[in-house]
Amino acid sequence: MKRLLIKNVFWFILILAVLAILMSTFNFDTSKTIDISELVSKIKAGEVKSIEVEGQQMTASLNNETQVKIFKEEGEALSELLKNYDVSAEQIAALNIQISEKQNDWAALLLPALLPLLLLGALFYFFFRQAQGQNIKAMSFGESRVRETPKNAKNKITFKDVAGIKEAKEELHEVVEFLMNPKKFIALGAKIPKGVLLMGVPGTGKTLLARAVAGEANVPFFHISGSEFVEMFVGVGASRVRDLFKKAKKQAPCIVFIDEIDAVGRQRGSGLGGSHDEREQTLNQILVEMDGFDPRIGVIVVAATNRPDVLDPALLRPGRFDRRVTLNLPDINEREAILKIHAKNKPLGKGVNLRPVAERTPGFSGADLANLLNEAAILAARRDKHKIETQEIFESIEKVLLGPERKSHILNEHEKCITAYHEAGHALVAHMMPHADPVHKVSIISRGLAAGYTMKLPTEDRYLHSRSEFMADLAVLVAGWLTEKMIFNDVTTGASNDLKHATRLACQMVKEYSMGGELRTFGEREDMVFLGREIHERKDYSEKTAEKIDKEIESLLNKAEKTAEQILTDYREKLDIVASNLLEKETLERKEFASLFKDIKVPTKTKISKK
């Protein structure tokens, strides 16, 4: 559109210029030109009525109503000239001489000279504009890639779509009220938070909650991810921040949501590498913008992170993200509520009760639960069902937990036998250890990367873990490997993952939880920026201590091994029974598995109690 206009203007100027040149070249004046002596003779004959002088050019009106032109030299006065030609003073006085400023002269003279210049100018302008068009594209790097949800958006998200996280919702309710009626708060001189920081592990609903605040208050929602600020070009991040806030301020009151703020908001000055400076500038710009705007205009910045520990302390200073809201993983009631929300637009079978599903999904995040119901719907569709039944939902729990079943991954007879004993070993030890979670399912159908699996599920949500529980976990983990060694006098690669987990757990127990022997933690973790997600451990202990730590880890693993070995030898015949059942049925559910142990007394768990 703009281009077209410029083109038209260009052609217009071109045609005009050509016309002007033509006009100035041809003389359209038809009056006769005479020379001075002729004029003098006409004056002497009394034929001239008046003379108009205009610079070099004179126009004489004659008595016979015609006009003639005469050229004289510049700077020469007409009266002087006439005197020189012997015209008497009376005759000169009788002439009506009018001297006018020369006007069109200049234009007439300069136009032909100026036109090419003008033309060139127009051409330059034209090309310049075109080039700038490309420039604008290059400059748009500095524009933020913000995604905007306007107010009154269709199917907007409100607090109704967020289950659980009650405290977080309460905390944010205040923000909603302010956005809906800022005047009320300002009138009372209330200070409104500029920034709210949502913290929680992935999938706990941070993004969802931020959206819900905007939806509830019915204000625009600007969504950008921390990583989107930083690009190849230095300085882009800062200019994107400026752009983002410029856009937001225009639409206030509104919510600016910066997802994954840890991507730019990591502690400054703690790393190396090129991207570091860029991040620092971006973070500085965010701080500048947040300090700069008047809280009364109603731009509230909501940021989300799952790594609050790495955030720059400057972000947490008053006047910035001073409201901090933690989102926890949902407990059993919250899980049920989340499942209900996501089951709303899915046809469930009549008998489906979501409570047992919530019971079986400890540790699931809101996102996991949403995914679970989605998987169940897909499974039901694949089975040509019109409703989702409990069976599909339960099967999907395993899929979400362990990855899809790999029926195509067929083990040969020998591998099957090894896997059956390996899993039977895990399951037997888990069953016989009172502090281990009860066995939920054992299977030798491969899933994800594992050849088989033993699923243990806690009976209730737990927030504290005791040493006895960890010891039981260790024993269960090494049991697979031990069984292979005991039965086949050899070990396979199938146990490597178990041992990796066991080693890591033992290491954590000693270093982080002081469950070895020492009352202190070792090796504080810190983030090294230039390695991205890599976590680097700061070695805050001596070589001698390192040796001691190694010994403690080893002793924990040894203890676990002894415990497991004891159980495996004591209940050797049970091991054979479980393994042969697995070979036959491939999968044992909780009840089937428990029924194999009817004849023996299983020790019960003792609660932690006072000595």
- Tell me which stretch binds Zn ion (CB under 5 A): 144-152, 325-333, 493-501, 552-560: 493-501
Q: Exposed e or buried b for every residue in 84-123, given b needs 16+ CB within 10 A?
A: eeebeeeebeebebeeeeeeeeeeeeebeeebeeebeebe
Which of 334, 336, 423, 552 is an active site residue? 423
Instruction: Pick the closer one to Mg ion by CB: 40 or 315.
Output: 315
370 binds, among ligand ADP, Zn ion, Mg ion, none (CB under 5 to 8 A by kind): ligand ADP
116 binds, among Zn ion, Mg ion, ligand ADP, none (CB under 5 to 8 A by kind): none
Assigned token pair, 431 = 């069953």
Place of tokens 């737990």: 462
Q: Does 367 bind ligand ADP (CB under 6 A)?
A: yes
Cα torsion angle, 292, 295, 297, 303, sign? positive
Q: Which residue is nearest to Zn ion (CB)?
A: 480
Taking the complex as a whole, the smallest distance from the CB of residue 454 to Zn ion amounts, in Å, to 7
Q: Does 363 bind ligand ADP (CB under 6 A)?
A: no
Instruction: Pick the closer one to ligand ADP by CB: 166 or 525.
Output: 166
177 touches 253 (CB < 8 A):
no
Among 144, 149, 204, 207, binds Mg ion (CB under 5 A): 207
Q: Does 425 bind Zn ion (CB under 5 A)?
A: no
Taking the complex as a whole, the smallest distance from the CB of residue 244 to Mg ion amounts, in Å, to 18
Please give the Cα distance from 340 to 366 (Å, whole number): 11
- Helix 236-250 and helix 274-292: axis angle, to 10°? 20
Assigned token pair, 137 = 């594209």
Instruction: Pick the closer one to Zn ion by CB: 370 or 450.
Output: 450
Taking the complex as a whole, the smallest distance from the CB of residue 339 to Zn ion amounts, in Å, to 30
237 binds, among ligand ADP, Zn ion, Mg ion, none (CB under 5 to 8 A by kind): none
Among 195, 203, 330, 480, binds Zn ion (CB under 5 A): 480
Please give the Cα distance from 32 to 495 (Å, whole number): 117
- Tell me which stretch binds ligand ADP (CB under 6 A): 135-143, 163-171, 593-601, 602-610: 163-171
Question: Residue count at the site for Zn ion (CB under 5 A)?
Answer: 2
Instruction: Pick the closer one to ligand ADP by CB: 370 or 376.
Output: 370
510 touches 548 (CB < 8 A):
no
Instruction: Pick the closer one to Zn ion by CB: 161 or 498.
Output: 498
Taking the complex as a whole, the smallest distance from the CB of residue 403 to Mg ion amounts, in Å, to 22
**Amino acid type, 556:** L
Instruction: Pick the closer one to ligand ADP by CB: 325 or 471.
Output: 325
Please give the Cα distance from 426 to 476 (Å, whole number): 5
Q: Exposed e or buried b for every residue in 592-601, given b needs 16+ CB within 10 A?
A: ebeebbeeee
498 binds, among ligand ADP, Zn ion, Mg ion, none (CB under 5 to 8 A by kind): Zn ion
Assigned token pair, 440 = 């939920």
Question: Residue count at the site for ligand ADP (CB under 6 A)?
Answer: 18
Task: Identify the helix (H) or strand (E) that includes residue 255.
Answer: strand 254-259
163 binds, among Mg ion, ligand ADP, Zn ion, none (CB under 5 to 8 A by kind): ligand ADP
- Tell me which stretch binds Zn ion (CB under 5 A): 66-74, 215-223, 252-260, 491-499: 491-499
Contacts made by residues 563-566, CB under 8 angstroms, sequence distance 24+: 563/429, 563/433, 563/471, 563/475, 564/425, 564/429, 564/475, 564/476, 564/478, 564/479, 564/482, 565/482, 565/486
Q: Which residue is nearest to ligand ADP (CB)?
A: 366
Instruction: Pick the closer one to ligand ADP by CB: 373 or 479.
Output: 373
Taking the complex as a whole, the smallest distance from the CB of residue 567 to ligand ADP amounts, in Å, to 40
The interface mask with ligand ADP, positions 311-340, x = CB under 6 A, is ---------------------------x--
524 touches 535 (CB < 8 A):
no
Assigned token pair, 160 = 């109704």
Cα–Cα nearest to 378, from 394, 396, 391: 396
454 touches 414 (CB < 8 A):
no
Taking the complex as a whole, the smallest distance from the CB of residue 364 to ligand ADP amounts, in Å, to 10
Cα–Cα nearest to 450, from 429, 488, 419, 428: 419
Cβ neighbours of 506 (radius 10 Å): 27
Q: Does 365 bind Mg ion (CB under 5 A)?
A: no
Burial of 31 (0-12, 13-18, 19+ CB in 10 A): exposed
Please give the Cα distance from 354 to 339 (Å, whole number): 7
480 binds, among Zn ion, ligand ADP, Mg ion, none (CB under 5 to 8 A by kind): Zn ion
Q: Does 164 bind ligand ADP (CB under 6 A)?
A: yes
200 binds, among Mg ion, Zn ion, ligand ADP, none (CB under 5 to 8 A by kind): ligand ADP
Q: Does 310 bind ligand ADP (CB under 6 A)?
A: no
Q: Does 445 bind ligand ADP (CB under 6 A)?
A: no
Write out the binding residues for Mg ion, residues 584-603 only, by CB under 5 A: none
Taking the complex as a whole, the smallest distance from the CB of residue 210 to ligand ADP amounts, in Å, to 8
344 touches 300 (CB < 8 A):
no
366 binds, among ligand ADP, Mg ion, Zn ion, none (CB under 5 to 8 A by kind): ligand ADP
Instruction: Pick the closer one to ligand ADP by CB: 154 or 414.
Output: 154
Task: Respond yes or no: is residue 423 known to be catalytic.
Answer: yes
Q: Does 354 bind ligand ADP (CB under 6 A)?
A: no
Among 70, 175, 176, 370, binds ligand ADP (CB under 6 A): 370
Which whole-number Å values give the CA distances from 599 to 433, 561, 567, 577, 582, in the listed order? 17, 26, 16, 13, 19
Please give the Cα distance from 24 to 290 (Å, whole number): 64
- Pairing state between β 254-259 and 221-225: parallel
Among 171, 312, 334, 498, binds Zn ion (CB under 5 A): 498
Please give the Cα distance from 224 to 303 (Å, whole number): 10
Q: Residues with catalytic annotation? A: 423
Binding site for Mg ion (CB under 5 A): 207
Binding site for Zn ion (CB under 5 A): 480, 498
Binding site for ligand ADP (CB under 6 A): 162-165, 200, 202-208, 304, 338, 341, 366-367, 370
